[in-house]
Structure 1
Amino acid sequence: MTKMTLKYSAVLLLIVSLGFMGCKKLDDMSRDPTKPTTTEPQFLLTGAQKSAMDVLYSNLQNGFIGMHYAQYWSANSRVADSQYQLDEGNNTTFWNNLYRISLHNLNEIILMNQAKQGQPGVANQNAIAQIMTAWIFEMLADTYGNVPYSQAFQNTSNITPKYDDAQAIYNSLLDILQAQITILDASQTSYNTGDIIYNGDVESWRRLAHSLMLRIAIRMADAHPDKAKEIIEAHYQYAISSNKESAQFQYLSTVPNRFPYNDADRALIDYAVSTTLVDYMQSINDPRLPIYARPAAEDGVIRGLIYGLSTSDPLHLSESHYSQPGKQVYSATMPGILMGYPEVEFILAEAAARGMNVGNAATHYNNGVRASITYWRDLSGATNINENTIQAYLDQVPYEAADWKNVIGTQKWLALYLQGFQAWFERTRLQFKKPGGEPLFILPKSGSLDRSVAEVPYRLTYPVIEQTQNKVSYDEAATAVGGDLKGTKLWYNKF
């Protein structure tokens, strides 16, 4: 972590994070952001939630990294990002925003509440902050591998924190989430305002904690199958069980609280949907395709752009020839999804396929597909999708036990659309193909610009500034993970 990461003052943090935030609704904020000494935990929580979602769904991080590595989108102009050339500014912003704003705000809530121990709602406030913290640290561990954790906010004098082992971080996060599940008390208040995700509802946060434990456990299913089985079997019945219970951050139609990348004020032409996505969805008559992609301006046809195709290649035509992401995807009010119900069902489908006692794999698989289609239908207002449409689709993409990894993997990938980072993590973890075994993903058409990457990056390299401002810890971490390269596999991908 950089000097700025740990020496970032509370004053500057609050100016950055509170100047554009709100309470129960984002546009309700009326507090003066230049007077941070009067702040309260709810404002810090709003800041943590919004800053994390803003960077996870921004054009520069989600668009050029997550959505590219998941191969949902192709670049119309900056094709180097599709060819795995990482923009260091985008990388550093991702790292710094999660540490310097989101995690720091959450840590400040807990520090601020130390003097209020025993007061109504304080334990719930801290537990919610800890659940958010666990979610963000898992994001960092899944993105980079080993990262600063135990010493990240130990004290302001430690400007060179060590990088903790990612596997040890996973184990710690499981312990933390389990503890918060026990601490949360629905008979007590929590955040009366400031919680954009669940409006302070304690039971919803408890469900999310159970669900995050499922996500962590399924990621380690190959590395530690017995532990993954124990966790999933103990928590699956208490996880998110409907689209209404999904954890998401609702953006608004007004500036500055719009979805980070939207076309409310101008046309967005940075990306086209990839041929990988379009061709596969067309081949299975997926009813979500008109929601995921809009017709090409040139002729009204939904058409993808070959992934990683250089602009100098004669096959790369003008942006009007290709389909841009759908109108709902670029909507100012598109929610930022932290974790949705479809993901939970696909986790359980995979768990059942692996022999865990969580119910029937086919049932969970069908539930996941159905939940994803209805989520996007209801969000976009599509009127052409009904029960008959969904059943016909399920009949076309049935669950096949002998091919579970490809069947579940492809549908989970489709369900995670727009959640670029999560879809990328699942792509590298499951290594799935189309049902039947035909490759789904392609290599960048014009070649990779990173010699360490054979097919797709497994991680992001650490921000370059770490090599100078935290060199000893950086060098140790680079050695420990097997080399600070995008082609280096994460610990759970080595099995």
Structure 2
Amino acid sequence: MKFRNKLTVVIGALVVLLASACESFLDVNENPNNPEDAPVTGLLTNSTLETARNIYRAGSATSNYVQYLASPNPASSSDTMDPLDFSGTWFNFYNVMTDLTVIMDKSTESGANHYLGVAQILMALNLGMTVDFFGDVPFSESFTFETVTPAYDDDQQLYGQILNLLDQGIANLQKESTITIGGDDFIYSGDIEKWSKFAHSLKARFMIHEQGYSASEVLAALDGGFSSNDDDAKVFFFEEAFNPWAQVAINNASLLLGGWISEQFIQALDGTSYPAFDPRLPLMVGTTSTGEFVGTVNGAGRGNAPESGARSTLIPGQYYTSETSPIMIATYAEMKFIEAEAALASDKARAYAAYLAGIEAHMDMLEVEDAAKAAYLADPSVSVGADALTLDLVMKEKFVAMFLHPETWNDARRFDYAYKDMTLPENLNPNLNGEFIRRLAYPDSEVSRNGNNVPQVTLLDRIWWDQ
């Protein structure tokens, strides 16, 4: 079976890679694990798998902020936007980027241009997630093994490097390569054309973050990007090491109480905030024990609902929570909503077509029945016509289609959290002065090891594109 074969590759690679990657702030002057001796094939296996897991980790960190999920406990820090320690998330970003640095160095030396291109694309993605979370971060001095206290680079300048990495990756994919990528690539199994589309799609994602972005450049990137759901960047999991959101759902079924659904998300789909009931809702989350969709208010907790059966939660076996379900890294649906946003000011017909295509693509991904899909797309609150299309509608549908994905937090900040009926959580962190969180705090591990270089910021200080 394909998944079992991939697992065999993973196990073999991890034997070689055990503890190979090291974080920028760890003592790397002496490296007993010597990751330079690991083959690029094994490093790519680990990097593609762990990049998908980083999407999960990042989504887990931010899903309460955008009110996909809510804590069942009142005044929980994950809901109330208190400063949390994301040392583990930070480590995992840098862990992957360290392996990618080795791939790039070894591929450059050997002429393995396809490995070089893929590594540059994955580096851009992981660096971009790190910058989007924290702002200024170490990069230029992080992988040289010359210092344990690397300097912090400016977040706006790092964005320039992210886009350059994507351009370089696209260019290297077009060259001859001494080694062919295959099953060691968990995302596309070595399909270079799809990697190129992925890179163009990521360019569009990162460019649209910028205030005053060039719509024509975003649309040009999309022209080279995904053209159907078949192009989605995703990593399937396997029975022996399954999707981490599946574990959240399984834990919840055992009353370990994770994955409770926010009231905001339920009401965005159940006909409360918008006129139409969305047929995707029962395919994404569970009902209560009485068959209803009931969310949990962020910050308020479960109240008189001591068990998960009285509130909607993630449940095992759905698209996002089956043991072998994929983690979606980037999707065609996301790209259509980026297209709709970018084209809205200049070409409403193109924007409207992209908006409808994004909804349909996500519904097809979830396997919504044709009749239910057609009814939703025909509802007057959805089928508004090109002239009546608004950014609010585009962002609402993108919010649904990006369920549990960390990119939604970037959208929320760009959109100033202006989703319909989204309100501040109860028991909000008083230091936020009645405002939504704008960045993550630097991790405690970094402050303790590299404190002289860590910028002094608050959770209200905005990163460069969120001004």
Q: Is the 8 A contact 1:400 1:407 kept in 2?
A: no
CA distance in 1, matches of 2:182, 2:12: 16
Alignment counterpart, residue 440 of structure 1, candidates 421, 425, 430: 421
Deviation (angstroms), 1:86: 3.8
User: Partner residue of 2:341?
Assistant: 350
**1:306 aligned counterpart, secondary structure:** coil
- Report the Cα distance in structure 1 between the residues aligned to 2:366 and 2:8, rounded to whole angstroms: 25
Which segments of 5 or more consecutive residues in structure 2 lack a partner in the other structure?
A: 18-33
Aligned-residue offset at 1:30: 5.6
TM-superposed deviation, 1:375 = 0.9
**Corresponding residue for residue 360 of structure 1:** 350
The aligned counterpart of 1:237 is 223
Matched, 1:287 2:255: no
- For 2:385 and 2:418, the matched residues in 1 are separated by 14
SS at match of 1:31: helix
User: 1:114 offset after TM fit, Å?
Assistant: 4.0
Please state if 1:248 is matched with 2:231. no
Q: Distance in 2 between matches of 1:201 and 1:330?
A: 27
Call closer, same or farther: CA 1:453–1:140 in 2, change over 3 Å: farther
Tell me the secondary structure at the aligned position of residue 453 of structure 2.
helix
Matches within 5 A, 1:212-361: 212-220=202-210, 222=211, 224-225=212-213, 228-254=214-240, 257-263=241-247, 266=251, 267=253, 269-283=257-271, 284-297=276-289, 299-310=290-301, 314=303, 317-326=306-315, 327-328=317-318, 329-355=320-346, 360-361=350-351
Give CA-to-partner distance per residue, 1:74-116, whole Å, 9 cap, x none.
111372311112432xx000000110x2111111112223431
Residue in structure 2 matching 1:427, options 408, 412, 422: 412
For structure 1, the 5+ residue unaligned runs are 1-21, 479-483
Alignment of 1:190-205 (within 5 A): 190-205=180-195
Q: Which residue of 1 aligns with 2:462?
A: 489
- Please give the TM-score of this superposition, normalised by the length of structure 2: 0.86
1:335 and 1:109 mapped to 2: Cα distance?
25
Matches within 5 A, 1:59-98: 62-63=59-60, 65-77=61-73, 79-88=76-85, 91-98=86-93
1:466-481 equivalence runs, <5 A: 466-474=446-454, 477-478=455-456
1:264-297 deviation digits (Å, cap 9, x = unpaired): 8652532321110111211121110001211112
Q: CA 1:229–1:341 in structure 2 vs 1: closer, same or farther (change >3 Å)?
A: same
Q: Report the aligned-residue RMSD.
A: 2.6
The answer as to 2:102 corresponding to 1:108 is: yes
Q: Number of matched residues?
A: 435
Deviation at 1:218, TM superposition (A): 0.7
How many Å separate the matches in 1 of 2:423 and 2:155?
29
* Alpha-carbon displacement from aligned partner over 1:397-436 (angstroms, at most 9, x marks no partner): 53565662211111111110021x11111011123645xx
How has the CA–CA distance of structure 1 residues 399 and 428 changed in structure 2, closer, same or farther, with 3 Å as cutoff? Answer: farther
Shift of residue 453 of structure 1?
5.7
Can you list the C-alpha shifts for 1:179-232, whole angstroms capped at 9, x where unaligned? 221221276563122100010111111001110110111111x2x33xx33522
Conserved 8 A contact 1:345-1:367? yes
C-alpha distance in 1 between matches for 2:383 and 2:434 = 30
- Quote the offset at 1:365 in angstroms: 0.7
Match of 1:373 among 363, 366, 370: 363
How far apart in 2 are the matches of 1:354 and 1:492? 20
Q: Give the whole-Å Cα distance in 1 for the aligned partners of 2:52 and 2:83.
A: 21
- Partner amino acid for 1:491? W
Q: Alpha-carbon deviation of 1:150?
A: 1.8
Tell me if structure 2 keeps the 8 A contact 1:406–1:432.
no
Report the AA paired with residue 242 of structure 2. R
Q: Does the 8 Å CA contact 2:269/2:277 hold for their aligned counterparts?
A: yes
Deviation at 1:147, TM superposition (A): 0.9
Distance 1:493 1:43, change over 3 A: same
Alignment CA distance shift 1:489-1:315 (3 Å): farther
Give 1:56's aligned residue.
55
Q: Is the contact between residue 26 and residue 196 of structure 1 (CA under 8 Å) also seen in structure 2? A: no
* Inter-CA distance 186–385: structure 2 relative to 1 (3 Å threshold): farther
Q: Which residue of 2 aligns with 1:414?
A: 400
Kept in 1, the 8 Å contact 2:87–2:446? The answer is: no
Cα offset, 1:32, TM superposition? 7.0
Query: What is the DSSP-based 3-state SS (H/G/I as helix, E as strand, rest coil) of the residue aligned with 1:271?
Result: coil
1:147 aligns with 2:119: no
Structure 2 equivalent of residue 158 of structure 1: 147
1:434-464 deviation digits (Å, cap 9, x = unpaired): 5xxxx4211112x112513633211101112
